[in-house]
Structure formats: C-alpha cells, structure tokens
Structure 1
Amino acid sequence: MADRQRADARRNYELILAVAAEEVAAHGAAASLEQIARVAGVGSATVRRHFPTRRALLEAVSKERIEALTARAQDLAAKDDSRAALLQWLSELVTYCVKARGFAAVLAYDGAEIGNVHENSCSAAMEEAASPLLHRAVQDGSVTTGVTVTDLITLVVGIVLATEHYPDPAAEAHRLFEIAVTGLSPDSEPTG
C-alpha cells in the first residue's frame, strides 16, 4: 500500500510539474496555482503539498534551465578571454530569462537578504556557476574589483523584468544589457 501511495505521489508530482511548466510558459511567474491544480486534475492542497510556495514551484520548473546554464559556465571557463567568457554567459542568461517566462522572477532576490543568495536556490546555483568566470575576469583586470555575481544577476533580472512587455523583449533586453556593459561614454570598452 505504501509503495502505491509513493507511486501515486510521484505521478502527481510529475503531472503537476508538466502542467506548471506549460502554465509558466504561458503566463510567467504569475501562473495560477489553482489553474495548475485544475488542469492536472488534482486538488490545490496536492499542489501545495508538493510545492509549498510559488517559488518552490518556479524553481522546480526552472531546474533544467539552471543545469544548462551551469554546464555552459563550465564550458566557457576554458575560454582564453575571461571578459568575453563572462559576458557570453551573462548574455545567455539574458536570453534564457527572456525566453523562459518566469525565470527572471525565480532569480530575483525578493524576500532574500541581499548577499545571502542561499535563500534562493536558483540564484545560489547561478552564483556558484558564474563565480569562477567573474573571479578570473577580475584577476585579469578586465572586470572592476568589487563586482559580485549577485550584482550581475540583479542587473540581468532588472533588465529582463523591465523589458518583458516590449514588442520585442529579447532585442530590448540585449540592447540594454549592452549599454550596461559598455557604459554611457563613447570611448567605453566594447563587450566582445
């Protein structure tokens, strides 16, 4: 009997997660937990038992994206140009955040004490992935000392959230990211 209950719980979890992924893709971080429960054919209590908070649900939906970004950071760490490697990864983070509605909200530090990203497991994973890239760029003198991965993630999240309602959010987000990276001075160093 216990094995059957575990199998039912596992099946419900997978079903809820699949429905949640579709709802988040359609409605972003504001996807309705009640709608997810309805479409999955389970009660809202079942959804909340598996995902006690909206953030927990969004983090579960974003797990594959986080793993892909982590692997990409490891690949880029081998590049000779440390600044280009860091900026490439950040640009890819912008792309993921724009494409995956709700991902920027998952990375946001709302409710978490600034500097304590471990309150947010997605941001903690991104910090761990990007830290070697940033550390190397700072050591090479191509990124200002004192910049943190938290700063960079906050910058990306802010840009993505500010541009999500533009007609072409990806183009606008990348344009603003480029401005942030190059600065406002005409003689600023290019990103690539």
Structure 2
Amino acid sequence: MRADARKNHDQLLAVARELFTKQGADASMRDVARQAGVGLGTLYRHFPTREAILEALLRASFDALTARAEELETLDPAGDALVRWLREIVAVAHSHRGVIASMVASIEDPDSALHVSCVTMRASGTRLLARAQRQGMARADINGAELFALVSALAWLNDQPSLALQVDRLFDLIASAILVKPTQACAE
C-alpha cells in the first residue's frame, strides 16, 4: 500500500474507532470520512461496507487482547492476571458498542472475517483461566466458552443505560464467582 493510502487507512480507522466508541456501531460513515479528512470514495475504497470497517476495528482489538493475554500469562498470581484480562476485554467490548452480537456470532461462524481472531482471543483467555485453575485460584468447573459468555454478558450490560452504572459491581460479583478464595483453595 502506498504511504498516502496507508495514512488514509490508518486515519479512517482512528476516526471510526472514536466515533463508534461515542455513538455506537450506527455512527455515520459520512462523519467518519469527513472527520478523517477524506472523501466518501476514499472511505469506501478502503472499507466497502460498514461491516468491513467494523471488522478491521474488531480484529485489531481482538489481536491486541490476545497479545495482552500472552503478556499476562507470566504475571503472578494467576487469578490477578485473569481478572486484569477480563476487565480489559469488557472495556474493549464496551468501546465497540452495539457489536456484541456480531462478536459472539463470529466465534461460531468459520466463514466470518473475524472468526480466527475471535477463536484466538478466546483461546488466550482460556489459557489464563486454565493457569488460574492449575494454581487453585479459579473454579475448576468453568471453561473458556463459559468465560467468554460471561464477558459478553458484562459487555452487553454495559450497553444498557439503566444497568451501565452497575457494571463494576456486577463485574466484581462475576469475578468473585470465577475465582476461588485462598481458604477454599487450601481446603480442597
């Protein structure tokens, strides 16, 4: 890609990320182009559909979460690493308001452009969970798919105006249901 085309591409993604975070997945594509300083034709050459730009944004976020999970795999205690990653994934999901259903569907649809990124991200979270389980810091009866479902539920709650103020408390409740208290781990 030429340098000017790469610059336009990156600028469009940066503006789209900001607008979609503020306005949700239905933000105006015309506003994305205008705020990026390009014409609609340039926007549509880079991203022919709204879904294409959302996929690019989500893929970048999923790949960053996968890399972050890999960094956290060395952090002790393992339960803290898992909770940090969970907080980050909920924040990322919330920053992509209105796309939770697409994200969940992508993991089940091998033909989705996001499938590989979704599966890889879920696998990285599952590794964090398994590590915490091996160290006796997380329940043994939860798997990666269930963990991902809980994250999706928290992100969905964050999108509901009447529930958004309770998300931190609900996150803490869910995290405490996943993690095992040190006294419980010693008793087992």
In structure 2, relative to structure 1, the CA distance for the partners of 1:52 and 1:120 (3 Å cut) is: farther
2:106 touches 2:118 (CA, 8 Å); kept in 1?
Answer: no
Determine if the alignment matches structure 1 residue 176 to structure 2 residue 170.
yes
The alignment covers a number of residue pairs equal to: 179
Determine if the alignment matches structure 1 residue 15 to structure 2 residue 20.
no
Aligned AA (2:154):
I
Aligned pairs for 1:26-65 within 5 A: 26-40=22-36, 41-43=38-40, 45-62=41-58, 65=61
Query: Quick one: distance in 2 between partners of 1:29 and 1:84?
Result: 32
Stretches of structure 1 that go unaligned for 5 or more consecutive residues are none
Question: Residue 157 of structure 1: which of 122, 128, 152 is its match?
Answer: 152
Question: Residue 76 of structure 1: which of 57, 63, 72 is its match?
Answer: 72
Residue 31 of structure 1: SS of its match in structure 2? coil
C-alpha deviation, 1:168, in angstroms: 8.0
C-alpha deviation, 1:104, in angstroms: 5.9
Stretches of structure 2 that go unaligned for 5 or more consecutive residues are 183-188
2:24 touches 2:96 (CA, 8 Å); kept in 1?
Answer: yes
Residue 180 of structure 1: SS of its match in structure 2? helix
Query: Quick one: distance in 2 between partners of 1:58 and 1:82?
Result: 32
Query: Quick one: distance in 2 between partners of 1:116 and 1:140?
Result: 36
C-alpha deviation, 1:20, in angstroms: 1.3
In structure 2, relative to structure 1, the CA distance for the partners of 1:162 and 1:146 (3 Å cut) is: closer
2:82 touches 2:125 (CA, 8 Å); kept in 1?
Answer: yes
CA RMSD of aligned residues (A): 3.7
* Counterpart residue number, 1:123: 118
Residue 53 of structure 2: SS of its match in structure 1? helix
Query: Quick one: distance in 2 between partners of 1:28 and 1:8?
Result: 28
Query: Quick one: distance in 2 between partners of 1:126 and 1:24?
Result: 21
Residue 109 of structure 1: SS of its match in structure 2? helix
Query: Quick one: distance in 2 between partners of 1:172 and 1:51?
Result: 36
Residue 108 of structure 2: SS of its match in structure 1? coil
Aligned AA (1:178):
D
TM-score by length of 1: 0.68
Query: Quick one: distance in 2 between partners of 1:111 and 1:125?
Result: 12
Query: Quick one: distance in 2 between partners of 1:165 and 1:146?
Result: 26
In structure 2, relative to structure 1, the CA distance for the partners of 1:88 and 1:190 (3 Å cut) is: farther
C-alpha deviation, 1:117, in angstroms: 8.4
